[in-house]
Amino acid sequence: MILVRRLLGDVLRQQRLLQGRTLRDVSAAAQVSLGYISEIERGQKEASSECLAAICSALHLPLSTVLAEVSSEIALEEAMLVGLTPLPRKSAATANVSVAA
């Protein structure tokens, strides 16, 4: 079963670690308790939209970027469940690139 909260937590943790940030640092910047962010990252709690927006802001990431990454992960897991070939993933760097006509 695909758990969105687990995938969301994985993406948030990955982004935080890529930035070399600690839970304490993000907690202070987001004004969300360290324990709650830890539970979100471990997929144990589902963040409200307000809490998620605060965490994304603290990580200097657009909410849309985080949700797009989660969506890509969901598509991969769905494809694995049914044995399909997943669509190519868009990286965060290329997701906002538009092609001129």
Cα-trace Rg, the chain: 15
Instruction: Give the start-to-end residue ranges of the domains of the chain.
Output: 4-82
Q: What is the pLDDT of residues 6-58, one digit of tens each?
A: 999 999 999 999 999 999 999 999 999 999 999 999 999 999 999 999 999 99
Confirm or reject CATH 1.10.260.40 for domain 4-82, answering yes or no.
yes
Backbone dihedral region of 43: left (phi > 0), alpha (psi from -120 to 50 degrees) or beta?
left
The torsion of the CA quartet 11, 17, 21, 22, rounded to 10 degrees, works out to: 90
State yes or no: pLDDT of 91 exceeds 70.
no
Specify the pLDDT at position 90.
Answer: 59
> What is the value of pTM for the model shown?
0.78
